[in-house]
Amino acid sequence: MIRRVSTHHDANWLFFRKWMRTPLSVASIMPSSSDLARAMASALPETGGMVVELGGGTGAITAALLERGVLHEDILIIERDPQFCGFLKQRFPGIRVLQGDARSLKSLLSTSSIELPVRAVVSGLPLLAMPARMQASLLHQSFALTGGSGPFIQFSYSLLSPLKKAVRDRLGVKEACVSQVWRNLPPAKVWHFYGTPKYHTSQFNPHQEGESVNAG
């Protein structure tokens, strides 16, 4: 169930205000378009299971996941901003929303019982703007969630991969651009990132703090 607690204009205005205050922590000036959100949801593998969404914002991608057929109970959103969290909880009753920094996945999920491996990690975070060490830590923890078999799905407005080469080489990441969305301002690409078989869910100890991985 999607509860219409606010108009499309209100969601856009909330997103814009957040971008004005902290432009480096919000991926864009406006929420993802419905076309981009659907492209992100379409990038999910056909297998079932939990989907972990990083940076829920005002819920554009969440709505597309539900439209794709993902069940409410199979979506877990991690969002740092308290106002976005409140908005998401009102808009999507029944979906779990955790407030916290996605870079600390292990500690955040210590209170959530989720079945591993998860189907995918879907990211609305500004990956391109992150330094290499931060990118590496985020993907390392995400691949431990997916067991290396599910994708880390990311959109980017860049022509090239948003993942730094040093991180890709260090972690042995396989990447592919799976969609080009022209009907978005600006146009965007959707990427799949996969970890190597060395990533197993047994590495994901939710009671251990997220580690920093040196990307070289």
Is the residue at 212 inside a domain?
no
Is the residue at 213 inside a domain?
no
| 3-class secondary-structure state, position 72 | helix
Contact 183, 176 (CB under 8 A): no
Is the residue at 171 inside a domain?
yes
Is the residue at 23 inside a domain?
no
- Rounded to whole angstroms, the Cα distance separating 104 from 137 reads 9
Is the residue at 39 inside a domain?
yes
The CATH number of the domain holding residue 154 is 3.40.50.150
- Rounded to whole angstroms, the Cα distance separating 179 from 195 reads 20
Is the residue at 27 inside a domain?
no
Residue 190 lies in domain: 32-200
| 3-class secondary-structure state, position 21 | helix
Is the residue at 57 inside a domain?
yes
Residues 67-88: b if buried by 16+ CB within 10 A, e if exposed? eeebeeebbbbbbbbeebbebb
Is the overall model pTM greater than 0.85, yes or no? Answer: no
pLDDT tens, position by position, 84-129: 999 999 999 999 999 999 989 988 987 778 888 999 999 999 999 9
Identity at 11, one-letter amino acid code = A
Total tally of structural domains belonging to the chain: 1
pLDDT tens, position by position, 6-46: 445 555 545 555 555 655 555 555 567 899 999 999 999 99
Is the residue at 2 inside a domain?
no
